[in-house]
Amino acid sequence: MDYQLPPLCIRSIVPAETPGRVLLDMPSLWRDSDAISLINVDEKIVNSIMSDPYKVPMCPPGWPNPPTVDAE
């Protein structure tokens, strides 16, 4: 199986305390992304990066480690 990591993805989006804002965790292959790094942004920002033409995908489970297949 050929597994291609997205270089930039959205790991989580959670509502912030301020209405209309969210906490966004968007790791990248180009920096240390093991730690969760939440950024407080406007919902409009999230809507724009999740739509064409610059759609940022949600991170696959276990990102950045490729999935494992259990051989039985």
Query: What's the pLDDT score for residue 2?
Result: 59
Instruction: Answer whether residue 67 is part of any domain.
Output: no
Instruction: Answer whether residue 24 is part of any domain.
Output: yes
Query: How many other β-carbons are positioned within 10 Å of the β-carbon of residue 26?
Result: 19
Query: What's the pLDDT score for residue 60?
Result: 82
Instruction: Answer whether residue 17 is part of any domain.
Output: yes
Structural domain of 47: 1-61
Q: What is the tally of structural domains in the chain?
A: 1
Query: Are 23 and 14 contacting, i.e. CB atoms less than 8 angstroms apart?
Result: yes
Instruction: Please state whether beta strands 38-42 and 12-15 pair in parallel, antiparallel, or not at all (unpaired).
Output: unpaired
Instruction: Answer whether residue 16 is part of any domain.
Output: yes
**Cα dist from 66 to 6, 9, 21, 48, 62, whole Å:** 11, 14, 31, 28, 7
Residue 64 pLDDT level (bands cut at 50, 70, 90): confident
Query: Are 56 and 10 contacting, i.e. CB atoms less than 8 angstroms apart?
Result: yes
